[in-house]
């Protein structure tokens, strides 16, 4: 068994150590094949559980029917078998329910979130003077998100350009501060710049990061209905959230 197969098995059985959880999160974010395999195995487990549940129910139904028509002494025998089957059903359901777990909203967020690229400020990394706007987007592209957030805040205060709200929210999401990103994204949705159609997708991801499944579902449905940015990904994500 490979290391990734071992991680998937432990993930499905909810037996990951903290270190292994970090490894799984990184693989879900960076390895699309691992993400697909984990989803496949999780769905397969659910299908097996359903098949076993149906088999148990069919067995109990058959035993009940026979118990009603057989002689009393034979009927007692079937009642015993019925009791045994009920115990097996309980044990089986307990086992699969214990193993069953939804993919967490954190894992889904990590799989789908990527900070939106800089399309506002072309960067020239020369030795010349760099204004605050250039420094802000330079920090953003370098992954220096705390610096970028501070600069975006200053720039929005002085210019009121709505795209600063959008990029500040993206930086906050990267720092796992979804609760701070949501108000900015909602404010940006009130504007009508070239980035507004992307905002709904990032708002859905922010709700997901906050484990707010109802708002995440509602917002993903809006992305799908719009049929524009990330609508295909939104359909897949909505299935996972449901």
3-state secondary structure at position 127: coil
- Per-residue pLDDT reduced to its tens digit, 11-37: 877 777 877 888 888 888 888 888 888
Q: What mean pLDDT, rounded, does the chain reach?
A: 81
101 pLDDT more than 60: no
3-state secondary structure at position 138: helix
115 pLDDT more than 90: yes
End-to-end CA distance of the chain: 31
Distance between CA atoms of residues 156 and 165, nearest Å: 7
Give the orientation angle of helix 196-209 with respect to helix 213-226, to 10 degrees. Answer: 160
CATH of domain 109-241: 1.25.40.10
Distance between CA atoms of residues 149 and 140, nearest Å: 8
Task: Considering only residues 120 and 63, tell me which one the structure prediction assigns the higher pLDDT.
Answer: 120
Backbone angle region of 147, left / alpha / beta, with phi > 0 → left and psi within -120 to 50 → alpha: alpha
Say which residue the tokens 């030795």 belong to.
Answer: 127
Closest Cα to residue 204, out of 111, 117, 103, 109?
109
> What's the confidence (pLDDT) of residue 22?
80
Note the pTM of the prediction, 2 decimals. Answer: 0.60
- Confidence band for 99, pLDDT divided at 50, 70 and 90: very low
6 pLDDT more than 70: yes
Asked if residues 205 and 113 have their Cβ atoms less than 8 Å apart, the reply is: yes
Helix (H) or strand (E) holding 12: helix 3-12
Which of 18-32, 91-105, 145-159: highest mean pLDDT? 145-159
Say which residue the tokens 């069919």 belong to.
Answer: 58
Distance between CA atoms of residues 59 and 7, nearest Å: 35
> What's the confidence (pLDDT) of residue 54?
59
| Structural domain boundaries in the chain | 3-101, 109-241
């Amino acid at each position: 068994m490979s290391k990734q197969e071992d991680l998937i098995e432990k993930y499905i059985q909810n037996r990951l150590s903290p270190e292994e959880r970090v490894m799984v999160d990184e693989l879900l974010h960076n390895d699309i094949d691992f993400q697909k395999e984990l989803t496949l195995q999780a769905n397969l487990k659910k299908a097996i559980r359903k098949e076993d549940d149906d088999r148990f129910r069919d067995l109990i139904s058959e035993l009940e029917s026979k118990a009603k028509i057989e002689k009393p002494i034979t009927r007692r025998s079937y009642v015993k078998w019925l009791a045994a089957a009920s115990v097996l059903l309980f044990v089986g359901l307990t086992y699969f329910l214990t193993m069953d777990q939804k993919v967490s909203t954190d894992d889904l967020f990590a799989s789908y979130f990527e900070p939106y690229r800089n399309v506002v400020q072309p960067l020239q990394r020369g030795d010349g003077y760099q204004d605050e706007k250039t420094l802000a987007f330079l920090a953003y592209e370098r992954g220096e998100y705390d610096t970028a957030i501070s600069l975006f805040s200053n720039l929005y205060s002085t210019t009121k350009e709505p795209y600063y709200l959008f990029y500040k929210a993206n930086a906050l999401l990267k720092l796992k501060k979804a609760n701070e990103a949501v108000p900015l994204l909602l404010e940006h949705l009130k504007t009508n710049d070239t980035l507004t159609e992307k905002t709904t997708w990032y708002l859905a991801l922010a709700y997901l990061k906050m484990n707010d499944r109802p708002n995440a579902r509602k917002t993903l449905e809006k992305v799908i209905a719009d049929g524009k940015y990330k609508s295909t990904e939104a359909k897949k994500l909505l299935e996972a959230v449901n």
